[in-house]
Amino acid sequence: MNATGALGRYGEDLAARLLTEAGMTVLARNWRCGRTGEIDIVARDGDMVVVCEVKTRRAGQFEHPMAAITPTKAERLRRLAECWLEKSGGPPPGGVRIDLVGIVLPRRGAPRLEHARGVA
């Protein structure tokens, strides 16, 4: 695994822990749907399924991770959510929500995590 892959995996580990601590149950990680792409984390929040995109950045590099959901990315996440529902037996009673966990890793100190619900 290269440095970018390791950074992404570390961020996904932090995000999964954050979601679990918030009372969610992680159902899948790095779930793929053919050529459509990959869902970083699929979780259950009560009777709702949550498709969670995780973006990890080092402090001072590139854009802030919370700016990562472009209209194109949001549409891809919606298609991935549809694929998940199709393969897992249909929509849950509470529906589906798309969330983003943005993580900034400072040069020193603890990572900063931000969880935005319903971003797309």
DSSP string, the chain: --HHHHHHHHHHHHHHHHHHHTT-EEEEEEEEETTTEEEEEEEEETTEEEEEEEEEEETTSSS-GGG---HHHHHHHHHHHHHHHHHTTS--TT-EEEEEEEEEE-SSS--EEEEES---
| pLDDT over 90 (residue 10) | yes
Quote the pTM value.
0.92
Residue range 30-77, pLDDT digits in tens: 999 988 899 999 999 999 999 999 999 888 766 778 788 889 999 999
Could you tell me the domains of the chain? 3-116 (3.40.1350.10)
Quick: pLDDT tens for 76-87.
999 999 999 999
